[in-house]
Structure 1
Amino acid sequence: MGVVSGFVDFVIVVFSVVLALTVPLIDAQICLPSGFYPPALVDLKRWYEEEYGDYLMKERPHFYIGLVWVEIVFLWPLSIANIYGILARRPWAVTTALMAGISTATGMVSLMAEYLGSGRASDKLLQLFTPFLAFSFFAILKGLFSKPRHTVIKQSHAAAARKKRA
């Protein structure tokens, strides 16, 4: 079970690093003025739009802007917490992984429904987003089936006896 758990942790950390970098540097350009970003990042976003045919990023429909705000306000901090929590083996990382997994799954289902339903998405774009569904699946599994490690505090017999009398 340790190998499976280690693999799941690895997947979550890798995708959390990807999200921790792409959300503020690329995705946030949807909501914030391009003047906030250096020209190299603006060009990188434009290249991505053209290379992968991401029409939602180019057209910026309102639901997509809302999903990006959820990424900025909710998913980005969770990604940072996941990286630290998993690498430092914090017991609360189980909860942050579950939250990030559910948030990612919800957003990805919305995006994939649009991409597949519209018929406008390129195969390259669909292949780029499919691993994020796997990430959300692994993060949810970690959150549901991992047991957080609790610190056991041993009390002396005298302290326990005093506690019982009080």
Structure 2
Amino acid sequence: MFLRVLEIIYFIYFASHIPITLLVDLQALLPEHVYPPELIKLLHWYAGEFKDPMMMDPPAWFKSFVFCEALVQLPFFPVAAYAFLKGGCKWIRTPAIIYSVHVATTLVPILSHILFHKFPLSPHPGPQTLNERLTLVSIYAPYLIIPIMILLTMLFSATYNSPSLKGNAPSKAKKQR
């Protein structure tokens, strides 16, 4: 039962990540004319409200993470959403481990940047106070926490980490001799 709840959480995570990536995150890479004014306004509101200058004026290293999100992660999102909605799909184990490690690795520098970088006040103000930094961290943190949960599920769940029957055949054959 608990595993099924986790799978539904993972399904929601991956399914919701598709529009977030396409409609918001990719604005850090693509030219502004690609997006309708409403989505541009949404990004400006978000960046101003939560003091996230990385989305308005992304550093090169941040753009490289968004590029990886577009090229590697985005095609994986519907596959993972399907696997976790269906539940118990052992074939998702290795791709989910790769995804989880990749995303967790990218979130460490993002969170460190938010917590320790001295952000300018203009043209796009970043977080200045500890409260503003923690608020922005709270927006990015699920993208670290859920991949770590996925990784732990793939590594330690009996459903996803059970030995294959093929792998046990030689030891059974030896015992019968």
Fold conserved (TM > 0.5)? yes
SS class of match (2:10): helix
Say which of 7, 18, 22 aligns to 1:24: 22
| Within-5 A mapping of 1:67-146 | 67-89=65-87, 90-118=89-117, 120=119, 121=127, 122=132, 123-146=134-157
Query: TM-score, normalization: structure 2?
Result: 0.76
Shift of the alpha carbon at 1:16? Answer: 1.1
SS class of match (1:111): helix
Work out whether residues 29 and 67 of structure 2, in 8 Å CA contact, stay in contact via their aligned partners in 1.
Answer: yes
| Alpha-carbon separation, structure 2, partners of 1:79 and 1:119 | 34
- Once superposed, which parts of structure 1, at least 4 consecutive aligned residues long, lie more than 3 Å away? 146-152
- The letter of the residue matching 1:118 is H
* Of 95-104 and 29-38, the range deviating more from structure 2: 95-104
Deviations 1:111-153 (A, max 9, x none): 001111115432321111122221011111122223448998x
Query: TM-score, normalization: structure 1?
Result: 0.81
SS class of match (2:90): coil
| Alpha-carbon separation, structure 2, partners of 1:11 and 1:102 | 18
Shift of the alpha carbon at 1:44? Answer: 0.9
| Alpha-carbon separation, structure 2, partners of 1:40 and 1:62 | 26
Work out whether residues 52 and 124 of structure 1, in 8 Å CA contact, stay in contact via their aligned partners in 2.
Answer: yes
| Alpha-carbon separation, structure 2, partners of 1:31 and 1:9 | 31
- The letter of the residue matching 1:109 is V
Over the matched positions of the two proteins, sequence identity in percent amounts to: 23
Q: CA RMSD in A?
A: 2.2
Deviations 1:87-131 (A, max 9, x none): 123321222322221122011111001111115432321111122
Say which of 6, 13, 32 aligns to 1:34: 32
Work out whether residues 91 and 150 of structure 1, in 8 Å CA contact, stay in contact via their aligned partners in 2.
Answer: no
| Alpha-carbon separation, structure 2, partners of 1:41 and 1:99 | 31
Deviations 1:49-99 (A, max 9, x none): 111100111221100100000111111122211101111233212223222
Alignment length (residue pairs): 151
Equivalent residue, structure 1, for 2:63: 65
Work out whether residues 46 and 52 of structure 2, in 8 Å CA contact, stay in contact via their aligned partners in 1.
Answer: yes
Shift of the alpha carbon at 1:48? Answer: 0.8
